[in-house]
Amino acid sequence: MENNSLQQTPLISLKQAVKRYGYMQALKKVDLDIYSGTSVTIFGPNGAGKSTLLKVLSMQCRLSSGELLYNGTPYKKISDDFRHKFGVISHQLYLYSSLSAFENLKFYGSLYGISNPEKKGEELLKQLDLYKRKDDLLRTFSRGMLQRVSIARALIHNPEIIFLDEPYTGLDSLAAQKLSTIIKQQIEENKTVIMVTHDIETGFFQADNLLIMDKGKIVYNRQKSSINIDDFRKEYMSVLGVEAAV
């Protein structure tokens, strides 16, 4: 991130960001710059503020105070159309169980103004090995299959920034492998990928930048190239005040 800062305006920038839910402060004066084409993984214990940070970055919720900028423009001045750049994959599926996989993709494709959502939907379902089940209602799908449809939903409009909130939750090994392949593919296509996860191994290998959050603050922010996974695991444990397992 330090090298990039000399070259360009951050794609997403948070300045002194505070998010409160009633008396609870989920984000405490967070500063963060994310550059286009980078892959960022956010680690942290439960309740650290990771998902809130992701929701703020993807404009799903409003900051209580502080600034959120996209390419240097305050998000309040950004049009609805800007959200076309966002794709969100979460442990929440964002799907309709009484529609088929194909109908779900067609519906979301039409909301994103895709010219031919049917074709794009079919392509994604083929890529995710779900084409044979495309006309089946989602209520007949397993959790892993649903998550694959959810991945297709998030990617149907070819987003530039992909937000992943605990995307591996409840996935079988096939679905997890598919998801890893797709994330890798998106990174190779120079997309910006921002992921929240507890899984150190998966999160570490898919990241350019590693963040650790604790109690609403970013307590660690480094480039992956400067650290190996074992050292990172030790640092993660020490940041959280836990002895690393040998």
Taking the least distance from each CB to another protein, the nearer of 99 and 219 is 99
**Binding-site string for another protein from residue 101 to residue 120, where x marks contact by CB under 8 A and - marks none:** --x---xx-xxxx-------
Q: For residue 131, which of 120, 144, 122, 142 has the smallest C-alpha distance? A: 122
Q: Which of 61, 229, 242, 244 binds another protein (CB under 8 A)?
A: 61
Helix or strand or coil: residue 143? helix
The least distance separating another protein from the CB of residue 178, rounded to whole angstroms, comes to: 20
Q: Which of 16, 71, 92, 238 binds another protein (CB under 8 A)?
A: 92
Q: For residue 104, which of 143, 147, 150, 167 has the smallest C-alpha distance? A: 150
Q: Which of 86, 158, 180, 233 binds another protein (CB under 8 A)?
A: 86
215 torsion bin: left (phi>0), alpha (psi -120 to 50), beta (else): left
CA 57 centroid distance within chain: 10
Helix or strand or coil: residue 135? coil
Contact range with another protein by CB under 8 A, out of 93-101, 122-130, 174-182, 222-230: 93-101
CA 157 centroid distance within chain: 15
Taking the least distance from each CB to another protein, the nearer of 90 and 186 is 90
Taking the least distance from each CB to another protein, the nearer of 19 and 178 is 19
* 99 interacts with another protein by CB under 8 A: yes
Q: Which of 45, 96, 160, 198 binds another protein (CB under 8 A)?
A: 96
Q: Which of 137, 200, 237, 239 binds another protein (CB under 8 A)?
A: 137
Q: For residue 44, which of 27, 65, 67, 23 has the smallest C-alpha distance? A: 27
Q: What separation, in Å, do the N-terminal and C-terminal C-alpha atoms of the chain show?
A: 31
Determine contact, residues 175/138, Cβ cutoff 8 Å: no
* 52 interacts with another protein by CB under 8 A: no
Taking the least distance from each CB to another protein, the nearer of 93 and 211 is 93
* 131 interacts with another protein by CB under 8 A: no
Burial bucket for residue 72 (CB in 10 Å: 0-12, 13-18, 19+): exposed
User: Which chain residues interact with another protein by CB under 8 A?
Assistant: 58-62, 80-84, 86, 88, 90, 92-99, 103, 107-108, 110-113, 137, 153
